[in-house]
Amino acid sequence: MPGNSIGQIFRLTTFGESHGAGIGGVVDGCPAGLRIDLDAVQQELDRRRPGSTALGTTRNEADKVEFLSGLMDGVTLGTPIAFLLRNTDARSTDYDALKDVYRPGHADKTWHEKYGIRDHRGGGRSSARETAARVVGGAIARQLLAQDGVEVSAYVSQVGSERTNKPYTDLDLASVWNNDVRTADQEAVSRMTALIEQVRAEGDSIGGRITCVVQEVPAGLGEPVFDKLHADLGKAMLSINAVKGFAIGNGFDSIDLRGSQNNDAMTPTGNRTNRSGGIQGGISNGEDIVFDIAFKPVSTIAKAQDTVDRSGKAVVLEAQGRHDPCVVPRAVPIVEAMTCLVLADHLLRQRTVRAGHDRPISP
């Protein structure tokens, strides 16, 4: 089955290309009777849209969402929720030189190998433009999760070599939207900003890390074998453009530890530590879920790069167009959206496995 959908019960399918008429999606499986705050959905889009931060691309899409079905007076009908975001600021001529040239680091060549045809205009469907549709679906999922008190927050915790070493418990997660870097560590804002501006001036790009925190998660979400909660979260994060790594809890740092150091200390009132990141055996344990996502440097840069054309001839590419020097500031709402989609799906799945109970049971 083509990989254009995520979720089993709460399911999002997206469509559209970067320089087509528009992008959009269909949310299926959302329970009826949920009142949707449409302004809150638009706010999520505004945080991701091109032009939302001075450190990103200069493409300026309004990204005003149009709901086509599934809602009446802002209340879900239990039927598919279809929505559309029209492209209004695409400059396809910027990509004329790429019609027969493959950009290094991009999906250009692999896409052509798979389908025998590709949309060279901004990468077509492989463009991060598609993630706007995920943000709409995630915004709806967030409002479903809010009924159970679940809160999802993400922030930039590293840009290149500049990082915060503060635990999330010492940060004001709500302050993320007060700066263009989208970090919760106000002491790191100037350092991260300066580094992004430096690489932009050099015509280059740089990677970074986003930390996501999910609070008030009911215990019991996730399946014990193939659909472990952290496995589904990892798949969702790795489906985001430019993501190259996912680690939950201690992650790779646990390699250097002994079991006596890495095990969570359990008490009658809950875990005293949270080295597992809130998930054990693939199932949420009621603690905060905490994970990190690594983003590579954006592949399209202003510097000349060696590559090949469709005939295999070596060429030098000097890319045109408008691109982010660092993707992580605009990726924060995307990470939150994908997290909400996974959790909403598992929340509804959990309600099917406990006879006589409408909601997951916390200890």
Side chain identity at residue 201, one-letter code: A
Residue 253 near residue 195 (C-beta atoms within 8 A) = no
Tens-binned pLDDT, residue by residue, of the chain (363 aa): 678 999 999 999 999 988 888 999 999 999 999 999 999 999 999 999 876 677 766 666 678 999 999 999 999 999 999 999 998 866 666 666 677 788 887 888 888 888 888 877 767 788 888 999 999 999 999 999 999 999 999 999 999 999 998 999 999 999 999 999 999 999 999 999 999 999 999 989 999 999 999 999 999 999 999 999 999 999 999 999 999 999 999 999 899 988 888 888 777 766 667 899 999 999 999 999 999 999 999 888 878 878 788 878 888 877 766 678 999 999 999 999 999 999 999 999 999 987 655 554 444
As a whole number of angstroms, the distance between CA 254 and CA 277 comes to 12
Does residue 252 form part of some domain?
Answer: yes
Side chain identity at residue 41, one-letter code: V
Could you tell me which residues come within 8 angstroms of residue 357 by beta carbon, excluding any fewer than 6 positions away?
Answer: 351
| Tally of domains in the chain | 1
Helix (H, G, I), strand (E, B) or coil at 349: helix
- Provide φ and ψ at 163, rounded to 5°: -145, 165
Does residue 255 form part of some domain?
Answer: yes
Does residue 358 form part of some domain?
Answer: no
Residue 221 near residue 229 (C-beta atoms within 8 A) = yes
Does residue 359 form part of some domain?
Answer: no
Does residue 356 form part of some domain?
Answer: no
Q: List % helix, strand, coil for the chain (3-state, nearest 5).
A: 30, 20, 45
Could you tell me which residues come within 8 angstroms of residue 11 by beta carbon, excluding any fewer than 6 positions away?
Answer: 5, 27, 28, 29, 345
Does residue 280 form part of some domain?
Answer: yes
Range of the domain at 300: 5-350
Helix (H, G, I), strand (E, B) or coil at 101: strand
* CATH for 106: 3.60.150.10
Could you tell me which residues come within 8 angstroms of residue 91 by beta carbon, excluding any fewer than 6 positions away?
Answer: 59, 321, 322
Q: What is the pTM of this model?
A: 0.90
As a whole number of angstroms, the distance between CA 50 and CA 184 comes to 21
Does residue 202 form part of some domain?
Answer: yes
